[in-house]
Amino acid sequence: MGLLGTITETLKASTESPNRGGGTEESAGAYWCHDCDERLLDLDVEGEGPPSCPDCGDEMEFERSPGSTGCAC
């Protein structure tokens, strides 16, 4: 990759776009347990519906919609 390609990738990664980098799968957000501060990326969750927190067992809450920008924090 040349200098121009490196600069282009750097600028893409610094924007508040949910489409950063060159990954093939796109995350829509993450599941959070606010009591335990536990986070699970939506791509790491199997099945339908919110997962249970691995620490306390409570249902986790999904944060960030597919159309939003920035982090899920």
Q: Which two tokens stand for residue 7?
A: 């600069």
pLDDT recorded at residue 13:
60
Q: What angle do CA 61, 33, 46 make, to 5 degrees?
A: 65
pLDDT grade for 10, boundaries at 50, 70 and 90: confident
Residue 73 has pLDDT above 80, yes or no: no
43 or 8: which carries more pLDDT confidence? Answer: 43
Interatomic CA distance for residues 36 and 27, integer angstroms: 22
User: Contact 30/42 with Cβ under 8 angstroms?
Assistant: yes
Question: Which whole-number Å values give the CA distances from 40 to 5, 8, 23, in the listed order?
Answer: 32, 30, 18
Q: What is the per-residue pLDDT across 16-69, written as a single tens digit (0 to 9) for each?
A: 555 555 556 677 889 999 899 899 988 889 888 899 999 999 999 998 755 555
Counting beta carbons within 10 angstroms of the beta carbon of residue 33, is it exposed (0 to 12), middle (13 to 18) or buried (19 or more)? buried
